[in-house]
């Protein structure tokens, strides 16, 4: 989009920039000297050119253009999508102020301006894609912040991409929806709730959201070809990369009666089963550091200095792995609080890069869906991933020859065979089983 904006009397000229990977142009209150030759290239500035030519004088223009590029917000990000512009052309900007919300391969991030000035031109509209470039900002927080306001003076509503899509389908006006995400950000459940209220009140939205004869999930058009989202594209690339790693799998059955009893005892204090499994895994990794290692070049491997447990979470339009850092050192109560915080941020697509790309070992749990066992694909850059199935009552034979009932779960570990061998995994799983079957150390 091309435009010429002069929001203040001291701003004399707007220069139009090529598209490339730029997302916007920004006026700065500094000085530079221009000539009529540069002005003749800009149709919207012809009046300025003729004025300068007729007066035969050189004009000092108190404005300078700064470009803001699409930042590479993670090591795997090659391009980003513009979710929404927080500011409009002509708006005054202050250093550190959020300007645009960008969808990276993992999360939605606010991009802030490093300068004071005015937003001269938006070069990539909402929904557009720009190539990412490596940016070295003054500090991590200056590049992108964890939260952003839901609106700017009532002019713009900030919502997740899926929420916007759903609102369009259900004929819900986002400006009337109260968001429940971080700082009032509108997410899918807010739109669904608004549509439900409209149905009860008999508004036009009721007709749109009425169930069709054939039940099709919202947002799906049968027979259509749907391009990957930014996140789905990143997942696809990572899965293809993992195919180059020689992996193997080892399964183990673990009795969970004691763990289940502990969970019931401390659940009221905010402890989650995910945190308990992460803590048990981290304590087992302390005794088997090779399982926490990784191989990048095929010629060496690295023993990781920290035990950071990444846990797979399904979100709208993809999959992400929030990381519980130093899980072996953090107490179970703090770990549970941190996990809830990470999940909330993940579902609002507000995770910071260090919160999802620093995992050293990954857990994938489908037990809550009743899945008894499955295999997981090894994420690039790690040595192992463990797939956790549901804990189910099982008839077993006791040591004295009697028949008994115990709750048991199946875990399957996929590992990089260049670094980790069968005996390594077997020893690790034995240690893990002992910790889970006698979980007294999990609450220390």
The catalytic site residues sit at 417
Tokens 């169930």 label which residue?
Answer: 211
CB 256 within 8 A of CB 394: no
Contacts of 322 (CB under 8 A, 6+ apart): 310, 311, 313, 339, 342, 343, 345, 346, 351, 355, 356
Nearest CA among 148, 149, 124, 146 for reference residue 69 = 124
CA distance 38 to 94: 28
Phi, psi (deg, nearest 5) at residue 57: -125, 160
Nearest CA among 38, 35, 31 for reference residue 11 = 31
Greatest Cα pair distance in the chain: 107
- Name 387's bridge partners: 364, 412
Answer positive or negative: Cα dihedral of 186, 189, 192, 194. Answer: negative
Phi, psi (deg, nearest 5) at residue 392: -135, 145
β-pairing, 302-303 with 293-294?
antiparallel
CA distance 386 to 221: 35
CA distance 124 to 1: 7
Q: Quick check: helix, strand or coil at residue 145?
A: strand
Tokens of 65: 């253009």
Q: Quick check: helix, strand or coil at residue 186?
A: strand
Phi, psi (deg, nearest 5) at residue 260: -60, -40
Nearest CA among 175, 418, 170, 178 for reference residue 298 = 418
CB 130 within 8 A of CB 79: yes
Tokens 């669904």 label which residue?
Answer: 192
């Amino acid at each position: 989009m091309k435009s010429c904006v002069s929001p203040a009397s001291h701003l004399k000229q707007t220069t139009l920039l090529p598209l490339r990977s730029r997302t916007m142009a920004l006026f700065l209150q500094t000085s530079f000297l221009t000539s009529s030759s540069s002005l003749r290239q800009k149709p919207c500035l012809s009046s300025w050119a003729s004025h300068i030519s007729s007066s035969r004088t050189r004009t000092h223009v108190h404005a300078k253009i700064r470009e803001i590029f699409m930042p590479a917000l993670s090591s795997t990000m090659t391009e980003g999508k513009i979710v929404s512009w927080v500011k409009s052309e002509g708006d005054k900007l202050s250093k550190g102020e959020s300007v645009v919300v960008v969808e990276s391969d993992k999360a939605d991030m606010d991009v802030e301006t490093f300068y004071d000035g005015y937003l001269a031109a938006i070069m990539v509209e909402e929904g557009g894609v720009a190539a990412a470039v490596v940016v070295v900002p003054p500090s991590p927080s200056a590049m992108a912040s964890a939260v952003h306001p839901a609106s700017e003076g009532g002019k713009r509503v900030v919502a997740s991409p899926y929420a916007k899509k759903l609102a369009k389908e259900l004929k819900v006006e986002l400006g009337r929806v109260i968001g429940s995400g971080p700082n009032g950000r509108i997410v899918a459940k807010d739109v669904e709730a608004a549509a439900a209220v409209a149905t009860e009140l008999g508004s036009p939205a009721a007709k749109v959201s009425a169930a069709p004869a054939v039940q099709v999930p919202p947002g799906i058009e049968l027979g259509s070809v749907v391009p990957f989202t930014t996140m789905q594209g990143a997942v696809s690339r990572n899965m293809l990369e993992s195919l180059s790693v020689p992996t193997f799998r080892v399964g183990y059955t673990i009795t969970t009666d004691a763990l289940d009893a502990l969970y019931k005892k401390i659940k009221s204090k905010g402890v989650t089963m995910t945190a308990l499994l992460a803590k048990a895994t981290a304590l087992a990794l302390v005794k088997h550091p090779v399982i926490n290692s990784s191989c990048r070049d095929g010629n060496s491997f690295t023993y990781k200095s920290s035990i950071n447990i990444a846990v797979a979470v399904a979100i709208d339009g993809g999959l992400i792995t929030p990381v519980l850092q130093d899980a072996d050192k953090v107490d179970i109560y703090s770990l549970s609080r941190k996990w809830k915080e990470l999940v909330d941020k993940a579902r609002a697509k507000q995770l910071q890069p260090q919160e999802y790309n620093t995992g050293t070992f990954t857990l994938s749990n489908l037990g809550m869906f009743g899945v008894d066992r499955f295999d997981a694909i090894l994420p690039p850059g790690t040595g192992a991933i463990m797939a956790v199935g549901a804990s189910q009552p099982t008839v077993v034979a006791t040591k004295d020859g009697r028949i008994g009932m115990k709750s048991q779960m199946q875990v399957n570990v996929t590992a990089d065979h260049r670094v980790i061998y069968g005996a390594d995994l077997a020893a690790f799983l034995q240690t893990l089983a002992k910790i889970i079957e006698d979980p007294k150390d999990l609450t220390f």
